[in-house]
Structure 1
Amino acid sequence: MTDRILLTCGEPAGIGPELAPLALESGVDFVWIGDPRHLPEGTAYHEVVAPSDPVPEGRLPVLPHDFAAPATPGRPDPANAPDVIEVIARAVDLIMRGESRAMTTLPISKQALKEGAGFGFPGHTEYLADLAGGVPVAMMLASTTVTPPCRVVPATIHIPLSQVPDALTDRVLEQAIRITHAALIRDFGIAAPRIAVAGLNPHAGEGGTIGHEEIRRFRPLLDRLRAEGMQIAGPLPADTMFHPPARSRYDAAICAYHDQALIPIKTLDFAGGVNVTLGLPFIRTSPDHGTAFDIAGQGRADPASTIAALRMARDMAANRA
């Protein structure tokens, strides 16, 4: 097995092809899986047959994958959608066969994949879970440039806010907590994780005057998990959880819904945030941004989040090993 990280190409009409050569600044040993035709003109690359093949210094290692069509920045081609999906599946297959420890995924366009290939998953996270055998997973967003670190896990993700109260069942919340607790130990090297749980309602319900979910659902569950030995604080008012003194008291925050988790992380560390899929049998990280069609091909792509994602994948793989 090689320690080289697999970097999937993502949507070729986005900024992914520009980020790949820029990511060499990370100092992380990685190989890009994609079509060399999509790389910026003049990119110094070296094709490999296997992830572990040697590569001349200063060149981008490329595991070539032929796409159906060239790429036009800012204009996704439906013909390329099946190949975007296949690259992800290929990376998972390589890892499951023991040829790498981890993968970092560059951004995809869910709309382009749905229109071009009938992609039936909400995003990378759900597709990777399916490829791994339908394992339960959780999405973590983790900072890399702020202290104390900010790590957030939304218990519910891409659903309308009106559906959150019903979707946030005991089972869903418990699963998010357990997956996060195990990942902090295995992948982040934290022997005794401290977890903070945000309430659903303003002021965490304020004793039942602004909602009863915290009393009826959260507290019995959290008490039971604490009785097992987990260090869990909550349910807490979300509006006071993310300033530095509060963050110093926990290693990860479980949030009730998408924006409750993502607003603080993107405010605190927009360029250095990393998306991590917890619960997989392998390491997966990605930059915390999208395809950026509006600036694709203009040389304006910022590699900071991709570099952070590669470094986090390397460190997590080392902890898991």
Structure 2
Amino acid sequence: MKPVIGITMGDAAGIGPEIIVKALDTEELYHTCQPLVIGDAKILERAINIVKSELKINKITDVKDAKFSYGEIDCMDLDLLPADLPFGQISAAAGDAAFRFIEKAVALAKNNEIQAICTAPLNKEALHKGGHMFPGHTEILAELTGTKDFSMMLSSPKLKVIHLTTHVGLIKAIEMINPERTYTVIKLAHETLTRAGMTNPSIAVCGINPHAGEHGLFGNGEEEEKLLPGIERAQAEGINASGPHPADTLFFRAGRGDFDIVVACYHDQGHGPIKVLGLEAGVNITVGLKGGIIRTSVDHGTAFDIAGKNIADKRSMLAAIESAIELAPKN
């Protein structure tokens, strides 16, 4: 069965609707998945006109009415926005709608009507103006699913990275790392890749210090204190984990295929190698959500400055949908 991928429209004042239309005007996509847009049909219709596409819209309120056929976009129409919503402006209506699209997607995922969620970008200021005080998609999803232990994964065609810490300063990040968090993230990586159909995925944990501490030569024993016990606990459960490995060679080794995924200790350690490989190919993924829900996202923002101008690039959206297909549960 081809997975049903729920694609949320994000902030409709941005480029989300345009890149969704452009991505779904790719016939090959329908060979591997069943895409379902969760948003506002009239805004999607406007996007079709902007990008000069010949696609049609199948406006639905129930997944069973979807056709999943190239040439006609199935849109779960929440009908929340005015047809003349201004481009590139902070809007409470658009911020609230972006939240409602995610809320609907989570409900569909919980009911197993969709197998993964792929999100177009939202605007945090608009989200807050619409009454939803979350930093972004990840925190919304965690709240809606009742999840405490989750992690950010980045994926590109040659490299997958999952993080122990993300948006905190470096000193704080090192303070936050502990054996329990190391074990939890290794297990999240293992479970995510296993559900996606990968047998015995190889998970490599990056060191905190240069040369992974080199047995106490660098740092204050952080690898032995914060990482190694978590790695050994995972290994004792039969998880194919190893490390800590020196960062200066680990990403090269993973890129050539020695490992299936790298556990990065902090934001820039993981984000840097992925973004060097190309922003258009990078995908942001939330893993560990309760119920095994997978969420992928474009690796860019709402781009208010170019919204409505038919110049937005679809490649990150395509990559995000393809990652959702890859990671969607296979059983």
Do both proteins adopt the same fold according to a TM-score greater than 0.5, normalized to the shorter chain?
yes
Shift in Å, 1:96: 1.4
Note the C-alpha offset of 1:253. Answer: 0.4
Task: Rate the CA distance shift 1:161–1:122 in 2: closer, same or farther, 3 A.
Answer: farther
Q: Quick check: 1:11–1:108 contact (8 Å CA) kept in 2? A: yes
Query: CA–CA distance in 1 between the matches of 2:36 and 2:255?
Result: 39
Question: Which residue of structure 2 lines up, in the alignment, with residue 87 of structure 1?
Answer: 101
**Distance across 1 between alignment mates of 2:308 and 2:140:** 28
Aligned ranges 1:1-321 → 2 under 5 Å: 3-24=3-24, 25=26, 26-27=29-30, 28-39=33-44, 40=47, 42=49, 44-55=56-67, 57-69=70-82, 70-114=84-128, 116-144=129-157, 149-187=158-196, 189-212=197-220, 213-243=222-252, 247-280=256-289, 281=291, 282-317=293-328, 319-321=329-331
Say if 2:16 and 2:121, in contact at 8 Å, map to a contact too.
yes
Task: Using the TM superposition, name which of 200-209 and 170-179 deviates more.
Answer: 200-209
User: Which amino acid in the other structure matches residue 156 of structure 2?
Assistant: S
SS at match of 2:64: coil
- SS of the aligned residue for 2:61 comes to coil
Q: Which runs of 5+ in 2 are unaligned?
A: none
Amino acid at match of 1:251: D
CA gap 1:133/1:220 in 2 versus in 1, 3 angstroms? closer
Cα distance in 1 for partners of 2:164, 2:254 equals 24
Code of the residue aligned with 2:319 in structure 1: it is A
Structure 1 counterpart of 2:20, which letter? A
Instruction: Give 3-state SS (helix, strand or coil) of 1:151's partner.
Output: strand
Cα 1:219–1:283 shift into 2, 3 Å:
closer
Question: 123-132 or 67-76: which moved more?
Answer: 67-76
- For 1:152, what is the secondary structure of its paired residue? strand
**Greater shift in the superposed pair: 290-299 or 61-70:** 61-70
Residue 244 and residue 71 in structure 1: after superposition, are their counterparts in 2 closer, same or farther (change >3 A)? farther
- After superposition, the Cα gap between the structure-2 partners of 1:12 and 1:214, relative to the gap in structure 1 and judged at 3 Å, is same
Is the 1:110–1:119 Cα contact (8 Å) retained in structure 2? Answer: no
Secondary structure of the corresponding residue to residue 284 of structure 2: strand
Residue type at the aligned position of 1:243: F
Deviation at 1:289, TM superposition (A): 1.9
Give 1:41 shift: 5.4
Contact kept, 8 Å, 2:91 with 2:130, in 1: the verdict is: no
Corresponding residue pairs, total: 314
Q: 1:15 to 1:191 in 2, by over 3 A?
A: same
* SS of corresponding position for 1:165: helix
Distance in 1 (alpha carbons) for counterparts of 2:258 and 2:122:
35
Q: Percent identity of the aligned residues?
A: 38
Q: Is the 8 A contact 2:121 2:301 kept in 1?
A: yes
DSSP-derived class of the 1:63 partner:
strand
Alpha-carbon distance in 2 for matches of 1:29, 1:206? 49
Q: Structure 1 length as normaliser, TM-score?
A: 0.89
Does the Cα contact within 8 Å between 1:4 and 1:52 map onto a contact in 2?
A: no
Please, what TM-score do these two structures have when normalized by structure 2? 0.87
- SS of residue paired to 2:243: strand
What is the CA distance between 1:68 and its match in structure 2?
4.5
Following superposition, the deviation at residue 232 of structure 1 comes to 2.1
Aligned alpha-carbon RMSD (Å): 2.2
Instruction: State the Cα deviation string for residues 75-133 of structure 1 (Å, max 9, x = none).
Output: 2212321221111001111221232222211111223212x134333321222122112
Contact 1:2–1:99 (CA under 8 A) maintained in structure 2? no
